[in-house]
Structure 1
Amino acid sequence: MVNGVARIVSFLFHPLLLATYLFGLFAFTLPQAFSPLKEDGHLKFVLLIFCVTFLLPALNIGLFKAFGAIKTYTMDDRRDRVIPFVFMAVLYCAITYLFYTRTRIGIHDNLLKFLLIIDVLVVVATVVTMFYKVSVHAMGAWGIVGILLPLNKVVEDGTLFYPMLASIVVAGVVMTSRLQLNAHTPREVMIGSILGLVTSFGCIVLLF
């Protein structure tokens, strides 16, 4: 029963879904995050993000498994993670580059800055994975916390306060779930959490 709940949590808060959740949250609480997109295009953008940051990578992971590049979908062996992670890092960065070159999004626009933060998180996870296995679930969950914590300080109407608190609770639940499933050691979960929090918090401070 407990393991079943832990698996559901791990699926619902899969790292590939977190970009969708972040922009979905912004669509209802922080529309200026989509600048310079018009408001009627926010939900369409969230759907696009879901397709290119979840569906496309998930499809390619399926192909990697079919062709024997990885042993399992969960990629329990660190070495199995290297090729898929490099692919995802290249894909995420390429998507951001296409947005920058093919749309009206400029280097000073909020939307590009958030896309860059997500890219940095993916690249950091990829580089670290080449040497050490960390919990990318924990890294992604705390990466969201690292984004919302400083933003909550600058958003005057307080719309991000409760989402920020919820994100901290979710991050804790995700860490517990990964430990419950024996998917990671406490050290791997802790390192992933610290990496996610420090990376995203630092990017927010640097870019904003």
Structure 2
Amino acid sequence: MKNFILKGVSFVFHPLIMPLLGVLFYFSKTPRYIPTAVMKAKIFSIVILTIILPILLFFLLKTINKVQSIYLKSTQERLIPLFINCIILALILIRVLTPNEIIELYYFFLGILFSTLICFILAVFKFKASIHMIAASGFFMFAVGLSLHYHININGTIALMMIIMGAIATSRLHLKAHTNKELIIGVLTGLGPQFLLLNYWL
């Protein structure tokens, strides 16, 4: 039962959903008026580019034996997916979330791009930082930034995210997917870019 729950945590909070959660969280908290049509268009684009497209590309890579599982267990497996993800994120920044439209989301995705690049470089040097922790901690830092930016109380969200991050870390350790060092580097890789970019939109 414990093994099933911890596997479920890794699956439910897969890194692919974190960018979408950041977008949904932003639209639910921002006091700015954003037309419903615009919000729906942005959400639809993010779903297509950050979830559906990567899944389709994963099956393509699996078909040609470039990856074995969606968890990308080896550093070699990570290289192509991470490189492709960098291209997708760059496309989002150029075409979907431009800085003169929704600046907060632009810098959120810029931070995700930087984190992904760092993860790619680490993989080149055979270090397997936790992508789960990178994604979760990046979203966490963005949520904290929004609370400061709009002066809103999101203590409940912050507490929940800390619990979720703890559950993800426990899950990855239990499944022997990562070491403590890989989890810590993952957290720093996710938090760092988001924290450094706060200065540009707060």
Other-structure match for 2:94:
97
Q: Does 1:79 align with 2:76?
A: yes
Other-structure match for 2:150:
155
**Deviation digits for residues 3-38 of structure 1, max 9, x if unmatched?**
211111111111111011111112222254xx8x52
Contiguous gaps of at least 5 residues in structure 2: none
- 1:13-162 matches, within 5 Å, as 13-30=13-30, 32=32, 37-99=34-96, 106=100, 109-131=103-125, 132-158=127-153, 160-162=154-156
The answer on whether the counterparts of 1:138 and 1:193 sit within 8 Å (CA) in structure 2 is: yes
Contiguous gaps of at least 5 residues in structure 1: none
Aligned-partner SS, 1:153 = helix
The answer on whether the counterparts of 1:117 and 1:204 sit within 8 Å (CA) in structure 2 is: no
Other-structure match for 1:165:
159
Q: CA RMSD in A?
A: 2.2
Give 1:185 deviation, angstroms: 1.0
Q: 1:45 to 1:107 in 2, by over 3 A?
A: closer
Give 1:48 deviation, angstroms: 2.2
Q: 1:110 to 1:147 in 2, by over 3 A?
A: closer
Q: 1:18 to 1:108 in 2, by over 3 A?
A: closer
The answer on whether the counterparts of 1:65 and 1:73 sit within 8 Å (CA) in structure 2 is: no
The answer on whether the counterparts of 1:152 and 1:164 sit within 8 Å (CA) in structure 2 is: no
Take 2:9 and 2:24, find their aligned partners in 1: how far apart are those partners? Answer: 18
The answer on whether the counterparts of 2:138 and 2:191 sit within 8 Å (CA) in structure 1 is: yes
Other-structure match for 2:12:
12
Aligned-partner SS, 1:75 = coil
Give 1:47 deviation, angstroms: 2.8
Letter in 1 for 2:100: G
Other-structure match for 2:187:
193
Take 1:93 and 1:28, find their aligned partners in 2: how far apart are those partners? Answer: 25
Take 1:31 and 1:43, find their aligned partners in 2: how far apart are those partners? Answer: 17
Take 1:51 and 1:189, find their aligned partners in 2: how far apart are those partners? Answer: 28
Give 1:56 deviation, angstroms: 0.3
Take 2:96 and 2:60, find their aligned partners in 1: how far apart are those partners? Answer: 26
Give the TM-score taking structure 1 as reference length. 0.86
Take 1:78 and 1:29, find their aligned partners in 2: how far apart are those partners? Answer: 37
Letter in 1 for 2:22: L
Take 2:91 and 2:69, find their aligned partners in 1: how far apart are those partners? Answer: 26
**Deviation digits for residues 115-143 of structure 1, max 9, x if unmatched?**
32222222222222222111110111111
